[in-house]
């Protein structure tokens, strides 16, 4: 894609792994200001309450799709830092 091509915004129903705060708030049917407040709460609480977000750089927050679906369907807030990550033994230096 060249830099002159417009970038299409993500639709909440689209199959993207990460949502912006605005996209996540549309899925949850809440206001954007409440979504930002819940994202700040998540970061301040160490991931125990709020809207699960990851920080990409100093100003960019994104909501992982699976964590948003977990919150929307069960009401459970997941701590993203506690999520097990599969380890490929071949990539570990011995």
Q: CA angle at residue 41 from 37 to 44, to 5 degrees?
A: 140
Q: What is the model's pTM?
A: 0.72
User: What pLDDT score does 11 carry?
Assistant: 57
Per-residue tokens: 8: 């299409």
Which candidate, 36, 32, 27, places its Cα nearest to that of 71? 27
pLDDT tens digit sequence for 7-33:
455 555 567 899 999 999 999 999 999
User: What pLDDT score does 7 carry?
Assistant: 44
User: What pLDDT score does 94 carry?
Assistant: 46
Is residue 6 very low, low, confident or very high in pLDDT (cuts 50, 70, 90)?
very low
Q: Which residues pair with 18 in a beta bridge?
A: 64
User: What pLDDT score does 9 carry?
Assistant: 56
Secondary structure of residue 86 in the 3-state scheme: coil
Longest dimension (CA), the chain: 50
Q: Phi first, then psi: what are they for 18, rounded to 5°?
A: -130, 140
pLDDT tens digit sequence for 50-60:
999 999 988 99
pLDDT tens digit sequence for 46-82:
999 999 999 998 899 999 999 999 999 999 999 887 6
């Amino acid at each position: 894609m060249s830099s002159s091509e417009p970038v299409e915004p993500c639709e909440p129903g689209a199959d993207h792994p990460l949502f912006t705060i605005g996209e996540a708030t549309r899925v949850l049917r809440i206001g954007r200001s409440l979504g930002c407040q819940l994202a700040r709460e998540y970061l301040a609480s160490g991931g125990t309450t709020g809207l699960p977000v990851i920080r990409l750089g100093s100003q960019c927050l994104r909501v992982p799709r699976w964590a948003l679906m977990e919150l929307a369907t069960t009401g459970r807030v997941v701590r993203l830092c506690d999520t097990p990550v599969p380890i490929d033994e071949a990539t570990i230096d011995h």
